[in-house]
Structure 1
Amino acid sequence: MRPVIGITTYVEPATWGVWHELPTTLVPHDYDAAVTQAGGRAVLIPPDDLDADVLRVLDGLVLSGGADLGPELYGAEPGPLTISRPDRDSGEMLLARAALARDLPILGVCRGMQLLTVAAGGTLHQHLPDVLGHERHRPAPGVYGMHEARFTEGSRIAGLMGEDTRVHCFHHQGVDDPGSLTITGRAEDGTPEAVEDPARRFVLGVQWHPEVTRDKRLFGALVAAAGG
C-alpha cells in the first residue's frame, strides 16, 4: 500500500461556479500532486485544534505554506505587516508537536518550515525586508523569487538536492533562531533556507516551494521515510 501522507490546508474565501466568496478548505493542487507522483497517498487535513488523533492513520505529514504564523506563539508582538490565521496556527501547532513526539516523518514547506521551527522552540523574523533591505524572497504578488541556495555538506538536504540548488520562494517572514533544529541551508543573503532534526527519522523544513516543481527529490524522500 502507498504511504498515507497528510497535508495541512487553508480556510479561505473561494469562488467557483455559482458560489462566490464561500469559506473553503483548500490547498494548491501541486501539493497533493507532488505526493502522488512521489508514490504516496495524499489526504487533506483541515484546521482542527481539538486533538491530533488523525496522526494515528498517517505515515507522514506535509505542513503546507500560507499565511504568517502568529507571533504570540514565539513570544513576540505582531508587526504591522503580519497577517496570521489563528485557526491554522492552533491546529497545526498541535499536529506538529504531536508528530515530532511520535517521530512521524515531516516535510515543512515555507510557513511549514517556520511552524516546525517554532514548535522546536525557535523564533522568526516577521518581515525580512526590514532585516535584509530587499524583497527578492517575495518580488511581487503571485510571483516566485528564484535563487541559488547553499547547503551544509553531509546534511540530508544537501544529499537530496545534489548539484541543482535553484529554489522558488515566496515569503516575507523567515527563521531567526532555529530552536532545537539545525539550519542546513541558506540563501546567498544568509537567510535560512532549510532546517533539519538529525536525531529523528525525517524532519525537514524548506523555506522554498518544492511542490511548484513537484520535486521528487524532497517528496520522494518523505514518502520513502513514511514507508520505511
Structure 2
Amino acid sequence: MTDAPVVGLTTYRQEAAWGVWNTRADLLPTEYAVAVETAGGVPLLLPPVAAPGAAARIVSRIDALVISGGADVDPARYGAEPHERTAGWRPDRDAWELALLTAADEAGLPVLGICRGMQLMAVHAGGTLDQHTPDLVGHDEHSPGGDAYGDVEVETATGSRLATLVGARVEVGCHHHQSVATHPGFTAVARATDGTVEAMEAAGDRFRLAVQWHPETRVEIGLMAGLVAAAREHAAR
C-alpha cells in the first residue's frame, strides 16, 4: 500500500451517538472507505473546513476526490425557492464541497460524485436540480423511505467512461428524492427506465464522473477501481 493513491471523502457534520457520547461528529458510513480500500486506494475523511485556502491545500495533498452523499443542496445555490420536501441543507458543507470542486478543477484532480455529490457537481457547473423527483415520475422507487435503498435498473450510454466501468446495464441502489435537471459541461450517461438522469460525466481524459446511486453500498468495484486508477495516474504526474 506504500504507493496507493489517497482518495479524499467528504463527510457529514451532525449529531451522532456512540458509546456514552451523544454529540456533534464528523462522520461517513464505513462502506465508502471500504470501497476505496477494496479498489486499492487509501481513504481520507474530509470534514467541512471554513478557513480560506483550505480546499486548495487539501486538494494538493490528495490524489482523487469523492463528493459523498448526504442532505439536500441549498436551493439558493441554484437560484430556486425551497420545495416543501426540500430540507436539512447544510451551508457549511455546501460551501466546503463547492470550494473543493473549484480547487479540484484548477488542479485537474479526478472527481467522483455520489448521490448528493452528483447534484452538487451539477450546481457547481451552473446547473439546476429537480427538488422532488416523485413529482416528475409518479413513484418513490428512487427513495422508498427510511434507510431503504431503491433497486433501480439503469442503462448506460454506449462508449461512455461509465459504460466501460460498470457495463451497459446495471441494477443499482438509490436513495435520492432529488435529481439533476440541467448539467452544463457534463453529458448524461445513464438513465433509469423512467427517464431520470442517473449519471453524468465530462468529456476529456480527466476523470469527472457522478452517479445518483450509492456504489459503496454494494462495493461496485468498477466505479471505485476507475477512480483509483485515475488517482494513481494523477499522482504519477
Q: How does 1:29-44 map to 2 (within 5 A)?
A: 29-44=30-45
Q: What secondary structure does 1:72 align onto?
A: helix
- 1:50-89 correspondence to structure 2 within 5 Å: 50=51, 51=53, 52=55, 53-83=57-87, 84-89=89-94
Partner of 1:129: 134
- Distance across 1 between alignment mates of 2:45 and 2:210: 19
Matched, 1:28 2:60: no
What residue number does 2:125 align with? 120
Query: d(CA) in 2 for partners of 1:56 and 1:18?
Result: 37
Query: Which residue does 2:177 correspond to in 1?
Result: 172
TM-score by length of 1: 0.97
Match of 2:186 among 178, 181, 188: 181
Moved over 4 A (4+): none
Conservation of the 8 A alpha-carbon contact between 1:149 and 1:187: yes
RMSD: 1.0
Alignment equivalent of 2:209, drawn from 174, 193, 204: 204
Aligned-partner residue type, residue 48 of structure 2: P
Distance 1:200 1:103, change over 3 A: farther
1:190-219 CA-partner distances (Å, limit 9, x unpaired): 000110001251000000000001111000
- Percent same amino acid at aligned positions? 48
1:7 to 2, 6, 9: 9
In the alignment, does 2:191 pair up with 1:191? no
User: Does the CA-based 8 Å contact 1:49-1:92 persist in structure 2?
Assistant: no
- Greater CA deviation, 26-35 or 75-84? 75-84
Q: 199-208 vs 58-67, which deviates more?
A: 199-208
Whole-Å separation in 2 of the counterparts to 1:198 and 1:163: 18
After superposition, give the CA deviation of every residue in 1:44-103 in whole Å (9 maximum; x if it has no partner): 000113231210100000110000001111111111111211111011011012212221
Residue 113 of structure 2 corresponds to residue 108 of structure 1 = yes
The alignment status of 1:146 with 2:148, answered yes or no, reads no
Aligned residue for 2:60, secondary structure, equals helix
Query: Cα 1:183–1:163, aligned 2, differ >3 Å: closer, same or farther?
Result: closer
SS at match of 1:57: coil
The alignment's TM-score, normalised by the length of structure 2, stands at 0.93
Inter-partner Cα distance in structure 2 for 1:198 and 1:18 = 49
Shift of 1:157: 0.6
Contact 1:122 / 1:180 at 8 angstroms: preserved in 2? Answer: no
The match for 1:98 among 103, 106, 110 is 103
Shift of 1:164: 5.2
